[in-house]
A and B are shown apart, each in its own frame.
Chain A
Amino acid sequence: MAHSAVTINPTKPGGVAVGLVLVLTLGTLGAVAWRADWGRGLGAADWAAVTFTVTQALVSAGLSCLLAIPVARALARRRFWGRSVLVTLLGAPFLLPVIVAVLGLLAVFGRNGILNDALGALGLPEVSIYGFHGVVLAHVFFNLPLVTRLILQGWLSIPAERFRLAASLDTPVGRMLEWPMLRTVLPPAFLIVSLICLTSFAVALTLGGGPRATTVELAIYQALRFDFDLGRAAMLALIQFGLCLIAATLAWRMTAVDGLGTGLDRSVDRWDGSRWGDGVIIALAATFLLMPLIMVIVRGVPGLFELPIDIWRAALRSVIVAAISAALCIGLTLALALRGGWIVGLVGVLPLAASSLVVGTGLFLLVYPFANPAKLALVVTALVNAVLALPFALRSVAPTVDKITSDYARLSAILDMSPWVWTTRVVLPRLRRPLGFASGLAAALSMGDLGVIALFAGDAQETLPLAMYRLMGAYRMDAAAGAALVLLVLSFALFWICDRGGRVDADL
């Protein structure tokens, strides 16, 4: 070996973190595989669940990609008042609790929603949001913004000179510049959205159901909570893992895309397209994305006065779980980023293939013989969400750690710093921005989680999303709307506080 590696980064905590992530992903998978009961084979209902899961994921991803193309193109070539706010808002659905979005969508597209009110006034038949198209609608709502940001990034990465050149040559921009860009950006975006849609339990829980609209994850939940059929739940969890593994492997091989990137604040001067056409597209997309959020606020404010006291207790529980989960996630992220190496790369991706329901089922099987799972519901929720947020946190933190190491590891080594001093006085202060962002992300994701908690919790462990779901199930829609507003505000407030904390006085 020629270069002696500068071994100033502490590696032991990273080893512990690797172990923890492996136990929670592959370990729980082992538990699931061990308990899976294949004796009865796959019934018709199971096959229907697999088919539905895959179909809705592919259709949702396809629609999201297709609709995102015109929106991204319009945003890329138009400058208008509020553009940067709109682009920032495109990042919001990532932090938005699923159940809140579902409530907003119900307020627009549901039975008593504004769309059906309008259709009724015109004497037209009403549409139903439940079932296949409801699930797809919710998925498009969540992923259209994500794909739009990804494509917008691709569009803005085409140098402005090329558009000028194409305009002066009078060459069609589409074939020359845009199609090659889309061909590289769209396939990974499609796969990532498919993966997200394969594992979005809360959407299926609220808008799906019944023999024709049950996902594998929903079937796991029902097998565990309603039938207490551990063998069948484990078998389904194994199938779900297989589906995710295929999608995750394909997505990862298509190289990494980072939908959280910044620098989308500019637009490109172009000499084609109609100003009116783009305006209509942007207005439609903004309406589709903003109406549900506006409805959450409009219906939520009066609902605030009908909130049972339990909701505030649940909210407090959720905030505490989110804080613990974020702290755990940051600890793991830091330990892994400092350790580096291929195994950390692997560990940083594994949680993407693990759905919270699969991990939850595995933990349930491990815990059940020894303790009442409900007692551990909050601990498990904090832990699982920390691990599930890890890939995103690692993506935002690891590049900065690498940069700090390449810039300052030699200087620190020749000054004879200890790993402790290096970590606390050099790495941590310089990492504040990405750490703030990542902890905000982890806190918001955990705050809105309605996955593993649904498997474990009894009444005494209700988090805010679960309490809200139960209000909806009891048709107490006003109170649910109030709870949704509280959850919305808390999620974004947690993110804002953490992200802000990383920015204030961060004079680097």
Chain B
Amino acid sequence: MLTCEKLELTQGAFHLSADVRFAKQAITAVIGPSGAGKSTLLLAIAGFFAAQSGDVLLDDDSFMSAAPGKRPVSMLFQDNNLFPHLSIFENVGLGLRSRGRLDAAERGTVMAVLIRVGLKDMADRKPAALSGGQQSRVALARLLLADRPVVLLDEPFAALGPSLKEEMLDLMQEMLVQDAGATVLMVTHDPADARRIADHVAWVADGVVHAPQPTAAIFADPPSGLRGYLGKMG
């Protein structure tokens, strides 16, 4: 269980309260109007946004005081998820070892993951030589190697076309959740993303992160705010 306990996030006039639990080894979609604080919630869990008060715990262990790199958390941002000057192999290798050189066994592990995501021939290329979908697979490969229990996705596939995005979402669900057992929080502004792969949906609006509901249930009978949001989306 990933728990936000009486978390209070404030910046200027912006305020967000989160007192919620996210199911383990499942995908929770975080949806809400822009500016509601979806990204801020993820940044706070990752350690990039200092909460005014409250706690974040994984299985009753608080990691609130840990630095971002020491938390049981991986994150993909909206952009700049790969280093353009490093090869695909080096980018993925950073998931395994980010302080020093890889040894022979680790290099084999990196290669195995590249094969798994279908990029074995791309190992020596730079990200710029890859398509958007392939770049997303590189980021996925790094998440798999980092093997942290919580994965935060801040709309990393927003720039992909619809079919590529669906393909990536399916791949995430299969490899990260079903195979690796990660707990995934996924920000999205597209309800179709949530319907496709999310087990639960957390509605963020009016300064509050609402408790996640099962996906089918929340779309069958949306709370009033969500109903308006969905209506506007068409």
User: CB within 8 Å of B: which residues of A?
Assistant: 1-4, 6, 407-408, 410-418, 421, 425-426, 429-430, 507-508
- Contact call B83/A414, Cβ cutoff below 8 A: no
- Contact call B68/A508, Cβ cutoff below 8 A: no
- Min CB–CB distance A52 → chain B (angstroms): 52
Most chain A beta-carbon contacts within 10 A, residue among B48, B74, B77, B100: B48
- Min CB–CB distance A132 → chain B (angstroms): 53
Contact of B48 among A1, A413, A426 (CB under 8 A): A413
The reply on B98 being an interface residue by CB < 8 A is yes
Knowing that A410-B46, A421-B100, A508-B84 are A-B contacts, what are 8 other residue pairs whose CB atoms are under 8 Å apart, sorted by A's residue number?
Answer: A2-B11, A2-B12, A2-B50, A3-B49, A410-B77, A411-B83, A417-B69, A417-B98
Contact A4 to B94, CB < 8 A, known contacts A408-B83, A410-B68, A415-B69: no
- Contact call B98/A416, Cβ cutoff below 8 A: yes
Which chain B residues in 71-115 approach chain A with CB under 8 Å?
71, 73-75, 77, 80-81, 83-86, 94-95, 98-100
Contact A425 to B68, CB < 8 A, known contacts A414-B73, A414-B74, A416-B99: no
- Contact call B85/A4, Cβ cutoff below 8 A: no
User: CB within 8 Å of A: which residues of B?
Assistant: 9-12, 46-50, 67-71, 73-75, 77, 80-81, 83-86, 94-95, 98-100, 126, 128, 146
Roughly how many angstroms separate A1 CA and B126 CA in the complex, as a whole number? 38
Roughly how many angstroms separate A421 CA and B226 CA in the complex, as a whole number? 44
Roughly how many angstroms separate A3 CA and B46 CA in the complex, as a whole number? 12
- Contact call A411/B69, Cβ cutoff below 8 A: no
19 A-B pairs (CB sep. < 8 Å): A2-B11, A3-B48, A4-B47, A4-B48, A4-B50, A408-B80, A411-B81, A412-B98, A414-B47, A414-B68, A415-B69, A415-B146, A416-B98, A416-B99, A417-B94, A417-B98, A418-B98, A425-B86, A507-B128
B146 (CB) vs chain A CBs: closest residue:
A415
- Contact call A407/B50, Cβ cutoff below 8 A: no
- Min CB–CB distance B121 → chain A (angstroms): 19
B70 (CB) vs chain A CBs: closest residue:
A416
- Contact call A407/B80, Cβ cutoff below 8 A: yes
Residues of chain A contacted by B49 (CB below 8 angstroms):
2-4
Residues of chain A contacted by B80 (CB below 8 angstroms):
407-408, 411
- Contact call A421/B11, Cβ cutoff below 8 A: no
Residues of chain A contacted by B75 (CB below 8 angstroms):
410, 414
Contact of B11 among A3, A410, A418 (CB under 8 A): A3
- Min CB–CB distance B68 → chain A (angstroms): 4
- Contact call B98/A429, Cβ cutoff below 8 A: no
B44 (CB) vs chain A CBs: closest residue:
A4
Roughly how many angstroms separate A122 CA and B77 CA in the complex, as a whole number? 76
- Contact call B48/A410, Cβ cutoff below 8 A: yes
Most chain B beta-carbon contacts within 10 A, residue among A415, A417, A426, A429: A415
Roughly how many angstroms separate A38 CA and B226 CA in the complex, as a whole number? 79
Roughly how many angstroms separate A147 CA and B50 CA in the complex, as a whole number? 47
- Contact call A418/B99, Cβ cutoff below 8 A: yes
Roughly how many angstroms separate A86 CA and B86 CA in the complex, as a whole number? 37
- Min CB–CB distance B7 → chain A (angstroms): 13
Roughly how many angstroms separate A412 CA and B71 CA in the complex, as a whole number? 13
Most chain B beta-carbon contacts within 10 A, residue among A407, A413, A508: A413
Contact of A414 among B11, B69, B100, B128 (CB under 8 A): B69
Contact of B85 among A1, A421, A429 (CB under 8 A): A429
Residues of chain B contacted by A430 (CB below 8 angstroms):
84-85
B79 (CB) vs chain A CBs: closest residue:
A407
Residues of chain B contacted by A412 (CB below 8 angstroms):
98
- Min CB–CB distance A502 → chain B (angstroms): 13
Residues of chain A contacted by B146 (CB below 8 angstroms):
415
Which 10 interchain pairs have the tightest Cβ spacing?
A416-B69, A2-B11, A4-B50, A413-B68, A415-B98, A429-B85, A407-B80, A417-B98, A414-B68, A418-B99
B90 (CB) vs chain A CBs: closest residue:
A425
- Contact call A421/B98, Cβ cutoff below 8 A: yes
Residues of chain B contacted by A408 (CB below 8 angstroms):
80, 83
A3 (CB) vs chain B CBs: closest residue:
B49
Residues of chain A contacted by B126 (CB below 8 angstroms):
507
Roughly how many angstroms separate A47 CA and B69 CA in the complex, as a whole number? 63
B152 (CB) vs chain A CBs: closest residue:
A414
Contact of B94 among A413, A415, A418 (CB under 8 A): A415
Residues of chain B contacted by A407 (CB below 8 angstroms):
80
- Min CB–CB distance B49 → chain A (angstroms): 6
Most chain A beta-carbon contacts within 10 A, residue among B70, B83, B94, B146: B83
- Contact call A2/B10, Cβ cutoff below 8 A: yes
- Contact call A421/B99, Cβ cutoff below 8 A: yes
Roughly how many angstroms separate A410 CA and B146 CA in the complex, as a whole number? 16
A421 (CB) vs chain B CBs: closest residue:
B99
Roughly how many angstroms separate A429 CA and B84 CA in the complex, as a whole number? 10
Roughly how many angstroms separate A120 CA and B69 CA in the complex, as a whole number? 78
- Min CB–CB distance B51 → chain A (angstroms): 9
Roughly how many angstroms separate A412 CA and B99 CA in the complex, as a whole number? 11
Most chain B beta-carbon contacts within 10 A, residue among A6, A414, A416, A429: A414
Contact A413 to B69, CB < 8 A, known contacts A4-B47, A418-B99: yes
Contact A414 to B50, CB < 8 A, known contacts A421-B99, A429-B85, A507-B85: no
Most chain A beta-carbon contacts within 10 A, residue among B71, B98, B100, B126: B98
Residues of chain A contacted by B47 (CB below 8 angstroms):
4, 413-414
Roughly how many angstroms separate A408 CA and B80 CA in the complex, as a whole number? 7
Roughly how many angstroms separate A425 CA and B74 CA in the complex, as a whole number? 20
Residues of chain A contacted by B9 (CB below 8 angstroms):
2
Contact of A1 among B50, B81, B86 (CB under 8 A): B50
